Amino acid sequence: MARLVRARLALRRLAAGVERLAARVTIRSAVGKLPTEGAGFGPADWNIRKEGSPMRVPPQKFVHIVYRTRRFAEMLAWYETVFDAKVQYQDPALAFLTYDDEHHRFAFANLAVINPDAPEPAKRGLVGVDHVAYTYGSLNQLLENYAWLKERGIKPYWCVHHGITVSMYYADPDGNQMEFQVDSFATAEGANAMMHSPRWPANPIGVEYDPEDWLARLRAGTPASALLERKVDLPVSPIRGAMTGAA
């Protein structure tokens, strides 16, 4: 008899364990579905519009880090050696490197060119991480998330179309900078081709856009593809944020 009771108890524990596991799997798959569609106007965007109010959207993935340096050549050589990274584009002020199919995993800003006249203590303070970057699932998600954050008093300090990405830069309360972006091209080949074309040296920084205007246009039904493709390469935006002090 005691053996039967023990067996029943063991069965009940097993059933409870399976139930807990099933619940966990359901939650995981629901979360995984949020940002999986590609850049553009996808099913998740329809869900956002149906709700009729801005929605917080998590990024799809972490993608790159940008350093400010006064050891430009030395830093490039180190990352080429350690990460087997290849230079995608380089000029005296900026360099973009990658080690996989992402258009860039590292970028380096040469402070000796961009901010040579900073006072001595600031010169040391400027060296280090400029920003980290996260990719969003679609332009609509990026803009609806912008609206959601704005309602809470959190606004980007720089909205710029880089050509390869549409980007919004935010700073946390400590001033750590981050970029929320959407890829402009559906494939890595498209972005790489742009970085190797004459369009890139003509403007390796980007062209600013008005997020309010873009949000209104997307909500009015303008397809994301119409905004993702940058039609003009000028004017060159100033670099905003801690690097130059322009905000």
Q: Which residues bind Fe ion (CB under 5 A)?
A: 133, 179
In angstroms, give the least distance from the CB of 166 to Fe ion: 12
41 vs 105, beta carbon nearer Fe ion = 105
DSSP letters for 44-85: HHHHHHHHTS------SEEEEEEEEES-HHHHHHHHHHHH--
Minimum CB–partner distance for residue 227 and Fe ion (Å): 19
Structure tokens at 235: 């004017």
Query: How many Cβ atoms sit within 10 Å of the Cβ of residue 99?
Result: 15
Nearest distance in Å: CB 103, Fe ion: 10
Which tokens go with 156? Answer: 């980007």
The DSSP bridge partners found for residue 171 are 177
What is the nearest approach in angstroms of Fe ion to the Cβ of residue 50?
32
At closest approach, how far in Å is the CB of 107 from Fe ion?
6
Cα 108-112-116 angle, rounded to 5 deg = 135
Distances from the Cα of 99 to the Cαs of 23, 65, 96, in angstroms? 38, 13, 11
Structure tokens at 171: 């700073």
Q: Which is nearer to Fe ion, 133 or 171 (CB)?
A: 133
Cβ atoms of residues 181 and 141 within 8 Å? no
Q: Which is nearer to Fe ion, 48 or 228 (CB)?
A: 228
The CA-CA-CA angle for residues 2, 19, 27, to 5°, reads 160
Nearer CB in complex with Fe ion: 63/215: 63
Provide the minimum distance between the beta carbon of 142 and Fe ion in the complex, in angstroms, as a whole number.
14
- Residue (34 or 178) nearer to Fe ion, CB: 178
For residues 45 and 179, which CB has a smaller minimum distance to Fe ion in the complex?
Answer: 179
Residues with Cβ within 8 Å of 137's Cβ and at least 6 positions away in sequence, in order, are 34, 35, 36, 37, 38, 39, 42, 44, 57, 60, 182
Q: Which two tokens stand for residue 187?
A: 């494939």
Q: Smallest distance from the beta carbon of 72 to Fe ion, in angstroms?
A: 17
Judged by beta carbon, residue 143 or residue 168, the one nearer Fe ion is 168
Is residue 102 within a helix (H) or strand (E), and if so which, with residue range?
Answer: none
| Angle between helix 211-219 and helix 139-150 axes, rounded to 10 deg | 120
